[in-house]
Amino acid sequence: MGATFVLISGAWHAGWCWERVKPLLEARGHRVLAPDLLGMGGDRTRLADVTLARWADQIADLIRGQPEPVILAGHSRGGIVISEAAERVPERIRTLVYLAAFLLPSGGTLAGVAERDPTRDPADTLQPGPDGTTIVRSDAIGPTFYNTTDPQWQARAVSLVGSEPMVVFDTPLQLTQERYGRVPRAYVETLQDNAVKIGLQRSMQAKLPCEPVITLDTDHSPFYSAPEALAEALERVAAG
């Protein structure tokens, strides 16, 4: 029996980023949903109207519509979305998978954790947009997110990365041990990550342990740089 995967993209990305992984999982008999979050990719919701709560409600509603409990995976900023979704529908989630993702306790914010990396200056990579959004500078996308990815896939990502509502970065998570805390967690860490450094990934895991922890020797974006290895990692979580 295959599993049902729901895959949530990270900041500035949308459902397109799973295009190399989705068919690999489907070929192994799994169902795979890779939605565009509200305002991202092909979704036309105004980014000024987006909040973390609306994203979490969107994914919780999607999960409620599935015939079985799902494996909910989030990449990077997607980690806070899957955590909030799990608070809403813990009984509908088999496992949470954090892929190079922000794994935060209740009350934590993505911005607060990201500030722990003294080697990163957002001004080096981001440009402000309208209505409290940002865009990643095109010359920074490859070195930051895709430093072990083949050039043709790196170029495709550069053409597809969009704007991000920064209010989400400053929103404290609201999680309880009784709901979020009862859902099993796995972590897929990425050793050559220039966006969420491996030291930060491991410090987050130390505070909220995960089992299993699977290590990939890739950049921040194994969905493009190592899709077969990522599919195997996700299948390992499903089998466990």
Give the pLDDT of the chain (240 residues) as one tens digit per residue. 799 999 999 999 999 999 999 999 999 999 999 999 999 999 999 999 999 999 999 999 999 999 999 999 999 999 999 999 999 999 999 999 999 999 999 999 999 998 776 666 666 799 999 989 999 999 999 999 999 999 999 999 999 999 999 999 999 999 999 999 999 999 999 999 999 999 999 999 999 999 999 999 999 999 999 999 999 999 999 998
The CATH number assigned to the domain holding 31 equals 3.40.50.1820
Q: Among residues 53, 62, 190, 170, which one has the least CA distance to residue 112?
A: 170
Q: Are 187 and 215 in contact (CB under 8 A)?
A: no
Give φ, ψ of 212 to 5 degrees: -85, 170
Q: Among residues 113, 68, 76, 77, which one has the least CA distance to residue 95?
A: 68
pTM more than 0.85: yes
pLDDT for res 123:
66
Residues classed as catalytic = 193, 220
Write out the residue range of the structural domain in which residue 184 sits: 4-239
**Euclidean distance between CA atoms 194 and 179, whole angstroms:** 33
Q: Are 93 and 180 in contact (CB under 8 A)?
A: no
Count of domains observed in the chain: 1
